[in-house]
């Protein structure tokens, strides 16, 4: 057993890892898994990894599931890191293509680990508010685990996500409103219904799956982290997870003290972190009238806001907003030059790269990694709508 305990990311209060937990009992903030890195390092060495399976379960010793328990897996992780020399001639650009995960998005990572733990700890009915991709991923992993999935999505969630959840056997409810309204509906009903709330960062283990983005990136770059990371931030779980992974890898002696400059990329129509960053605030106020085609970025209020803000400041990175028009313009450019049909959230990062280069916040020759967090295929109506104009 490599999981030592859970610890609050805000106040440090300890919680048991041996039962189902949501937020910190004392501060209502996210709990983090504390892994026994000393024990992990006995078997998980950089050399040992070379012989292991490609999925994210290759990092088994730093994941919370006990070693003798079978994970709920569909082959998540192990996605390619692709050079993108044609899109950006003057920086050393790489794309981590997360659209190759099961259910075509990086949400598979979090759900594989989150559902594995929920099942192991006895949950039978899982509920999640989703912008779309997290719902699809929960539906798939819940089916695989033999537990119920109850998914709440805004009515205008991309059609592909809704149909996918339905065909995977989930209970789907469409809500008039935003992801925050979906979360509130679950909070109201979960006790009566016996649901375990799988909202991102409101349970401790999805972020553990997402942290494998950081492990994989380091491994693929031969343990040399890039200068800059551009991440499309909604709830921010990937950004927060990667930062945790970097700290763990430093403790393991795998990397040094240097960190990439972390940029949270948001949509101009929903940019709570950008606003808070620019205002010098430690947490972010709810963004009014959130609206963007990048449905994964339509998160007006995130429980991990304070963690994202801390990370982008500590790393000397930043937060930047991109409007839908810029996402739409850059998508066929990436498609035509690099051969990837990216999602609007990924597109936001490519547009942000152009802005950050013009502002000289990224220098010529720097190594930059963009996360294409999902597939453009899930957003056909959004891309159709704009190309028909």
Ligand X SMILES: Cc1ncc(COP(=O)(O)O)c(C=O)c1O
Q: Which residues of the chain form contacts with ligand X (CB under 6 A)?
A: 105, 131-134, 200, 232-238, 296, 343, 345, 373-374
Beta strands 92-97 and 367-372, pairing class: parallel
Q: Which of 1, 11, 163, 359 binds Zn ion (CB under 5 A)?
A: 11
Q: How far is the CB of 298 from ligand X (least distance, A)?
A: 8
Q: Is the dihedral of CA 21, 25, 31, 37 positive or negative?
A: negative
Q: How far is the CB of 387 from Zn ion (least distance, A)?
A: 47
Strand order in the sheet with 228-232: 81-83, 92-97, 367-372, 228-232, 261-267, 318-322
Q: How far is the CB of 203 from Zn ion (least distance, A)?
A: 15
Nearer to ligand X, 105 or 180 (CB): 105
Nearer to ligand X, 296 or 317 (CB): 296
The residue sitting closest to ligand X, measured at its beta carbon, is 296
Longest CA–CA span in the chain (Å) reads 59
Q: How far is the CB of 140 from ligand X (least distance, A)?
A: 14
238's contact among ligand X, Zn ion, none, with CB below 5 to 8 A by partner kind, is ligand X
Q: Which of 8, 264, 268, 362 binds Zn ion (CB under 5 A)?
A: 8
Q: Is the dihedral of CA 102, 99, 132, 19 positive or negative?
A: positive
27's contact among ligand X, Zn ion, none, with CB below 5 to 8 A by partner kind, is Zn ion
Piece in contact with Zn ion (CB under 5 A), picked from 11-19, 84-92, 296-304, 321-329: 11-19
Are 96 and 369 in contact by the 8 Å Cβ rule? The answer is yes
200's contact among Zn ion, ligand X, none, with CB below 5 to 8 A by partner kind, is ligand X
Nearer to ligand X, 320 or 343 (CB): 343
Bridge partners, 261 (sequence order): 228
Beta strands 31-35 and 3-8, pairing class: antiparallel
Enumerate residues 87-126 that contact Zn ion by CB under 5 A: none
Q: How far is the CB of 214 from ligand X (least distance, A)?
A: 13
Nearer to ligand X, 71 or 158 (CB): 158
* Of residues 357, 96, 374, the one with CA closest to residue 226: 96
From residue 276, alpha-carbon distances to 60, 236, 312 in Å are 36, 14, 12
Nearer to ligand X, 237 or 315 (CB): 237
Nearer to ligand X, 72 or 179 (CB): 179
Angle between helices 237-251 and 305-314 (to 10 degrees): 50
Q: Which of 1, 18, 27, 253 binds Zn ion (CB under 5 A)?
A: 27
Q: How far is the CB of 26 from Zn ion (least distance, A)?
A: 5
Enumerate residues 28-47 that contact Zn ion by CB under 5 A: 29
199's contact among Zn ion, ligand X, none, with CB below 5 to 8 A by partner kind, is none
Q: Is 175 exposed, middle or buried (0-12, 13-18, 19+ CB in 10 A)?
A: middle
178's contact among ligand X, Zn ion, none, with CB below 5 to 8 A by partner kind, is none
Piece in contact with Zn ion (CB under 5 A), picked from 9-17, 72-80, 194-202, 366-374: 9-17
373's contact among ligand X, Zn ion, none, with CB below 5 to 8 A by partner kind, is ligand X
What is the spatial distance between Cα 57 and Cα 60, in angstroms, rounded to a whole number? 5
What is the spatial distance between Cα 4 and Cα 187, in angstroms, rounded to a whole number? 28
Q: Is 107 exposed, middle or buried (0-12, 13-18, 19+ CB in 10 A)?
A: buried
Are 267 and 324 in contact by the 8 Å Cβ rule? The answer is yes
Which residues of the shown chain bind Zn ion in the complex (CB under 5 A)? 8, 10-11, 13, 24, 26-27, 29
């Amino acid at each position: 057993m490599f999981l030592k305990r859970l610890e609050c990311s805000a106040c440090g209060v300890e919680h048991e890892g041996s039962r189902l937990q949501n937020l910190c009992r004392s501060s209502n903030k996210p709990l983090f898994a504390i892994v026994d890195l000393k024990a992990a390092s006995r078997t998980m060495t950089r050399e040992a990894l070379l012989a292991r399976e490609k999925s994210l379960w290759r990092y088994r010793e730093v994941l919370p599931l006990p070693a003798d328990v079978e994970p709920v897996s569909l082959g998540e992780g192990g996605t390619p890191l692709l050079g993108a020399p044609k899109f950006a001639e003057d920086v050393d650009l790489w794309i981590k293509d997360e659209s190759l995960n099961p259910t075509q998005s990086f949400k598979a990572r979090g759900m594989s680990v989150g559902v594995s733990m929920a099942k192991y700890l006895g949950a039978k009915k899982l509920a999640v508010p989703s912008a779309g991709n997290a719902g699809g991923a929960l539906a798939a992993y819940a089916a695989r685990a033999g537990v119920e999935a109850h998914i709440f999505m805004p009515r205008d969630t991309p059609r592909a996500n809704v149909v996918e959840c339905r065909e995977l056997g989930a209970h789907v409810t469409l809500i008039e409103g935003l992801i925050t309204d979906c979360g509130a509906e679950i909070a109201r009903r979960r006790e009566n219904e016996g649901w375990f709330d799988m909202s991102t960062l409101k349970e401790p283990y999805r972020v553990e799956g997402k942290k494998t983005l950081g492990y994989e990136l380091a491994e693929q770059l031969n343990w040399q982290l890039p200068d800059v990371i551009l991440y499309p931030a909604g709830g921010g779980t990937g950004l927060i997870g990667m930062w945790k992974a970097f700290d763990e890898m430093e403790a393991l002696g795998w990397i040094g003290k240097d960190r990439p400059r972390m940029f949270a990329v948001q949509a101009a129509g929903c940019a709570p972190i950008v606003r808070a960053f620019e205002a010098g605030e430690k947490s972010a106020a709810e963004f009014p009238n959130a609206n963007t085609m990048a449905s994964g970025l339509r998160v007006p209020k995130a429980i991990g806001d304070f963690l994202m803000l801390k990370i982008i400041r500590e790393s000397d990175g930043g937060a930047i907003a991109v409007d839908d028009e810029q996402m739409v313009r850059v998508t066929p450019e990436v498609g035509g030059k690099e051969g990837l049909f990216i999602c609007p959230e990924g597109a936001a990062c490519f547009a942000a790269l152009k802005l950050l280069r013009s502002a000289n916040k990224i220098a010529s020759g720097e190594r930059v990694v963009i996360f294409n967090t999902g597939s453009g295929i899930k957003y056909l109506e959004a891309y159709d709508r704009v190309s028909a104009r």
